[in-house]
Amino acid sequence: HDHLITSKQLSRADIETVLDRAAEIDADPSAVADRHANRLLGLLFFEPSTRTKMSFETAMKRLGGDVVDMGSVESSSVKKGETLADTVRVIEGYADALVLRHPKQGAATMASEFVDVPLLNAGDGAGHHPTQTLLDLYTIRENAGLDDLTIGIMGDLKYGRTVHSLAYALTNFDARQHFVSPESLQLPREVVYDLHQADGAGIREHDSLEEVLPSLDVLYVTRIQRERFPDEQEYQKVAGEYQIDMETLEAASDDLTIMHPLPRVDEIAPAIDETEYAAYFEQAHNGVPVRMALLDLFLQEGGDGDE
Give catalytic residue positions. 51-52, 80, 101, 129
On the question of a cis peptide bond just before residue 182, with omega within 30 degrees of 0, the verdict is no
Name the H helices within the chain.
12-27, 51-62, 84-91, 107-112, 130-143, 161-170, 189-197, 232-238, 280-285, 287-299
Q: Is 23 in the site for ligand CP (CB under 6 A)?
A: no
Q: DSSP 3-state assignment of 119?
A: strand
Enumerate residues 195-234 that contact ligand CP by CB under 6 A.
Answer: none
Among 52, 165, 171, 177, binds ligand CP (CB under 6 A): 52
Instruction: Name the β-bridge partners of 203.
Output: 177
Q: Is 261 in the site for ligand CP (CB under 6 A)?
A: yes
By CB under 6 A, is residue 161 in contact with ligand CP?
Answer: no
Q: Residue 177 burial by CB count (10 A; 0-12/13-18/19+): exposed, middle or buried?
A: buried
Interacting stretch for ligand CP, rule CB under 6 A, among 15-23, 178-186, 245-253, 261-269? Answer: 261-269
Q: Which residue stretch of 22-30, 48-56, 87-95, 163-171 sits at the interface with ligand CP (rule: CB under 6 A)?
A: 48-56
**Has 291 been labeled as part of a binding site?**
no
Min separation Cβ 53 and ligand CP, Å: 6
Nearer to ligand CP, 55 or 181 (CB): 55
CB of 56 to ligand CP, least distance (A): 9
CB atoms within 10 A of CB 247: 9
State in angstroms the smallest separation of the CB of 132 from ligand CP.
5
Residue 132 binds to ligand CP (criterion: CB under 6 A): yes
Strand (E) or helix (H) holding 219: strand 218-221
Phi, psi of 285 (to 5 degrees): -65, -35
Q: Name the 3-class secondary structure at 187.
A: coil
List the one residue out of 150, 156, 221, 224 whose CA is nearest residue 187: 156
51 is an interface residue for ligand CP by CB under 6 A = yes
- Residues found near ligand CP in the complex (CB under 6 A): 49-52, 132, 261-263
Instruction: List binding-site positions.
Output: 51-52, 80, 101, 129, 132, 161, 223, 262-263
Instruction: List binding-site positions for carbamoyl phosphate.
Output: 51-52, 101, 129, 132, 262-263
